[in-house]
Chains A and B, each alone.
Chain A
Amino acid sequence: MAVYQINQEVELKGYWKYFLNKGFWFFITFICAFILNFILPRLMPGDPVAVITQKATQGMQSQSGIQAVYEYYANVFGTNKPITTQFVLYLKNVIHGDFGISFSQYPRPVADILRSSIWWTIGLQFPAIIVGWLIGNTLGALAAYLKKGFDKVIMPVSIFVSNFPAFGMAVILLVIFGVGLKWFPTSGGYGFDLIPNFSWTFIWSVIVHYQLPFWSIVLIAIGGQAIGMRSMSIYELNADYVKYSRYLGIKDRKIIGYVFRNAMLPQVTGLALSIGTMVGGALVAEIIFSYPGLGYTMLNGVMGQDYPLISAATLIVTLMVLAAMFVIDIVYGFIDPRVKAAQFD
């Protein structure tokens, strides 16, 4: 009994060490991403303040008036201060959730624009990626186990689908189900004639608009995951422990359980590592459906040379991806016996 308790304590301690280690690593990464995020857009040639001054002063004659407007905007956006001061200012503001004021949608604060788009992206992408992952792994495992006809169909289709560019899948779904069959609307997150509220009409509209972007992301995810799971399962099915278990006369069903558990683990890591790429593809899919999420916001930012908006949007996406990876890593720590074993060292 006592030995068991000690073991449990050691195990818990091991987990804590694992979490802290992971957490610290993600924090360091986030700091680096934050710095890159601040510096890169500010290296941009051209003066964005001059651009909006030009927009704001169209038709104005007085030179000093234009100068005053320019200085006003430079002051508001803080572009006239040295870059280190800007950074300290930026850091302070970001901690308070203030990302500055948008250039292209002046005087709307960037935080406000992002707040209205981030939930659309989270609501769309994470369910889609997880559903795609689950379906893909099931199909891959089935292909490895059943072989023959099923494998011959699933494999080439998966290879083709996973190589299909995410935007291509989005466009084709849009053309077939949106324009051709008219089953689903082609753009937006809800009907353009509605105001967001908690009525059934609105919720139904959101659900209908959700379908095409959702399935375009799911389909792409399925392909890649199925291929990975298939080769992992084939590898595991040929492993020595499977043969040994067969000699021992363990039931097939039980062996399959072990095999897929083992094949699954690398797929979990695979999900963590590919989530960044998937989010990138999904952002582009959002643009095609004019879905009111971060991808579409970014497009607007690029069009309007809006660097506070771009910078904040990329920061949020990075943060989202990092958070997702952290969660997956934590889950992985619980389910992988090898990680458990390593913690006792």
Chain B
Amino acid sequence: MLDNVTEISMDQLAVEVWKAKQDKYRFVTMTCCDLMDAHDILYHFDKQYVLKHLRLRLPKGTALPSISTIFFAAVLVENEIKDLFGIEVTGLTIDYKGRFMLSDGAPVAPMNKAHLGIGLEIRDTTRTGTAGEAAP
């Protein structure tokens, strides 16, 4: 389970990330989840094999401030989130303008739940049951 999670607001983001850097945490990565009405942004840090997470609930349509000026290592994953979830990320130290992972003609924000996928993945394979049953 995910332990050591701190819920933060947009105002606290830069302060908390800066604090993590001052406390000698290493930036591990970021995770974005689509919650339908908002995006759940998780910042993962590590120090001596102990993880620390910051959780930011970002309402849809709101821009996300980049932390790449504090942790440069975050710049690539922020560009990826911008591509795959359609979130505007402001203050990026390197801005790929939505063309980091995706190319021209690619689906827009394909990782959002509203995007069903392409090809065979449009099939609805959601079902209930327990492990051990035959796969569809």
Q: Do A and B bind each other?
A: no
**Chain B residues close to A by CB (< 8 Å):** none
List the interface of chain A (C-beta within 8 A of B). Answer: none
